[in-house]
Amino acid sequence: MGNATVTVLQTLSITSSLMVAGGIATLSLFDVPMLQAQPASRSLPSVRWLFSRGSHLMPTAAFAAGTGFVVLGVLALPPAAAVGGGLVARILAGTGTQGYLAAAACNFAIGPVTGLMLPTNFALIQKNEAHGGVRSERAATANKYRPGQRSADDSVAGKGEGNQFTDLSGPQEKTPLGSSQAEDEEVRRLLGKFARMNAVRAAFCMVGGVVGLCTALA
């Protein structure tokens, strides 16, 4: 690849990594505290909407950034003739390759962290479903299921809610069923747990973007 192509790949990978980091960090630092100030009947639909919108953008952008860094790492490999060894020797001899692969690993790391977060996410989704909440404002007009009739898996799949990729409506204002004080406290606790684990994802992408930037400037 030419220098111009490498520059474009560096720009896109670094920008994507830092964009994901900023978006995810904003969720933990600003969105969750505002949601925790609301009763569960109002916070749960917004959380469900954020989960749906975020799942369409953030993982894809992080994976794209990680893939871009892998390609840059391969391009930065020193020639085999100059090293006199195999692939491992070339990686160990190539500072740029090591930096880009480290940046890629940081972006790909949000996958396992997200896996650890899923029980918390699904607990919030299930509570939203139990109160009659759905994915979005438009989905509320299409959904024909009674509160609690669907599982969290059904909600994630958008069963009875229409196409989630063409649904660009805002979040449902509140769930049809109200929430008790105990339910409000439980949802606030789950949101706090989500925010802490989500911050770890933001940190990984931030480190990945910074490492990629430093490697590109070296």
134-173: pLDDT as tens digits = 999 998 888 888 888 888 888 888 888 888 888 889 999 9
pLDDT surpassing 90 at residue 117: yes
Q: What values do phi and psi take at 165, rounded to 5? A: -80, -25
The DSSP line for the chain is: --HHHHHHHHHHHHHHHHHHHHHHHHIIIIIHHHHHTS-HHHHHHHHHHHHHHHHHHHHHHHHHHHHHHHHHHHHTPPPHHHHTS-HHHHHHH-HHHHHHHHHHHHHHTHHHHHHHHHHHHHHHHHHHHHTT--SSHHHHHH--PPTTSS-HHHHHHTTTS--TTT------SS-SS---HHHHHHHHHHHHHHHHHHHHHHHHHHHHHHHHHHHHH-
Burial level of 193, CB count in 10 A (0-12/13-18/19+)? middle
Q: What values do phi and psi take at 94, rounded to 5? A: -100, 105
**R_g over Cα of the chain:** 21
pLDDT value, residue 101: 94
User: Two tokens at 175?
Assistant: 């769930």
Provide the mean pLDDT of the chain.
91
pLDDT value, residue 124: 97
pLDDT value, residue 82: 61
- Which percentage of the chain shows pLDDT scores above 90? 69
pLDDT value, residue 3: 83
Residue bearing tokens 């892998």: 70
Mean pLDDT of 102-117: 96
